[in-house]
Each structure stands twice: as C-alpha cells, then as structure tokens.
C-alpha cells in the first residue's frame, strides 16, 4: 500500500467513524430558545468527538494496513479472478 492509498483509506475510514461517533452523548435542551432547532444539542463536544474519531480510525486503519501487507487475503488474486 503506497502512502497516497494509505492516506485515502484513512480519510474514508475517518469519515465513516465520524458519522458513527457524532450521535454519542447528544442531549437536546428541555426548552429550546426561540429560533433554535429542537434537535440542536446542548453541548456537542465536537473536539472530543474528533479526537475519538481519529483514534478509532487509526486503529481501524492499522487493521486494514496489516491485512493488506500480510497477504492473508490477497486482493490482487481476487481482482485477477474477476
């Protein structure tokens, strides 16, 4: 896996994990202010969610990288058979 492929895979994994992490801990206000959406979170804690997303995406990426490098599953052989 080249560095461009590695970065591309990490970015895709990061976005998928972000959408899985975003709803964690969301609490809506009891009485929202006029003009605010009813579903707007009280404390979104977005920086914490970005940090968790980066950590989880890094772990998933390491698993994908290990799988590709080890040839446990040969993606090149799969591509040839298609």
25-75 per-position pLDDT tens digit: 888 888 878 888 888 888 888 999 999 999 999 999 999 999 888 878 777
Domain boundaries, the chain: 3-81
Q: Which value, in Å, is the radius of gyration of the alpha carbons in the chain?
A: 19
- Rounded Cα–Cα distance for residues 61 and 74 (Å): 17
Give the largest Cα separation in the chain, rounded: 60
pTM of the predicted model, to two decimals?
0.78
The sign of the CA dihedral 58, 63, 67, 69 is positive
Residue 43, SS3 per DSSP: coil
- Rounded Cα–Cα distance for residues 81 and 57 (Å): 30
How many CB atoms are located within 10 Å of the residue 68 CB?
Answer: 17
């Amino acid at each position: 896996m080249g560095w461009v492929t590695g970065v591309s895979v990490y970015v895709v994994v990061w976005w998928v994990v972000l959408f899985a992490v975003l709803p964690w801990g969301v609490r809506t206000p009891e009485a929202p202010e006029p003009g605010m959406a009813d579903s707007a979170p009280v404390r979104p804690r977005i920086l914490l969610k970005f940090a968790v997303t980066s950590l989880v995406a890094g772990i998933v990426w390491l698993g994908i990288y290990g799988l590709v490098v080890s040839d446990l599953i040969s993606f090149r052989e799969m591509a040839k058979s298609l």
